[in-house]
Structure 1
Amino acid sequence: MYIYNVTINIEESVHDQWLLWMRETHIPDMLATGKFSKAKMCKVLVEEEMGGLTYSVQYTTTDKKTLESYYIEDADRLRQDITKLFAGKFVAFRTELEIVSEH
């Protein structure tokens, strides 16, 4: 199993609008690709010097091949949505994680 982790710092001025959009639109759109079995959104509890609020959104997928398919088939389209709506109001970075064990 793999986790596609997106860490996002969002400006406070658009935070509420962004959070609603994430819950009602973006995360459901990600799951609708059929490439992720679940999503977990976590608030990062560290204050950033640059301000804003930081979240980690973790999308679980079965294997690296499925994640690669997401990059090829869906990533550009879904990333454009956030850029159109919140341009200049967020910073994001993405990390791939391989689940080694769960207890």
Structure 2
Amino acid sequence: MFIYNVTTKVSWNIHDAWLKCMQQEYMPAMIATGCFIKYQLSKLQEQNEEEGPTYVVQYFAESKALYNRYIEFYADVFRKEYAEKWGNNLVDFRTLLEVIE
């Protein structure tokens, strides 16, 4: 199992719209690619939220091949749409984790 981990600090001025979009559109669209079997949305705690809260979305892929399929066929489109919609109102970074146990 592999986890595609996306951490995002969201500006307060887009927070509600961003969260709604993530829950109703973006995360379900990621599952619809067929590359991931589920996702989990979490909010970081004990962080300075003066400029906005930080969220982590984890997308679970059953194999590295499925993750690679996402990167090859879908990632650029999703990232472009995401950047066009939210601009400089958020900062995010992505990591890939392999589940060991």
- 2:40 is aligned to 40
Out of 63-72 and 16-25, give the one that drifted further: 63-72
Deviations 1:33-92 (A, max 9, x none): 000000000001132377211000000001111111100100011111211111000001
Letter of the structure 2 residue corresponding to residue 38 of structure 1: K
Could you tell me the TM-score, scaled by structure 2's length? 0.95
Letter of the structure 1 residue corresponding to residue 21 of structure 2: W
- 1:53 is aligned to 53
- 2:28 is aligned to 28
- 1:81 is aligned to 81
What RMSD, in angstroms, separates the aligned Cα atoms of the two structures?
A: 1.2
Letter of the structure 1 residue corresponding to residue 29 of structure 2: D
Percentage of matched positions with identical amino acids: 37
| SS, match of residue 34 in structure 1 | coil
- How many corresponding residue pairs? 101
Could you tell me the TM-score, scaled by structure 1's length? 0.93
- 1:66 is aligned to 66
**Structure 1 stretches of at least 4 aligned residues deviating more than 4 Å after TM superposition:** none
Structure 2 stretches of 5 or more lacking a match? none
| SS, match of residue 60 in structure 2 | strand
Structure 1 CA distance for aligned equivalents of residues 61 and 17 of structure 2: 27
Tell me, yes or no, if structure 1 residue 5 matches structure 2 residue 5. yes
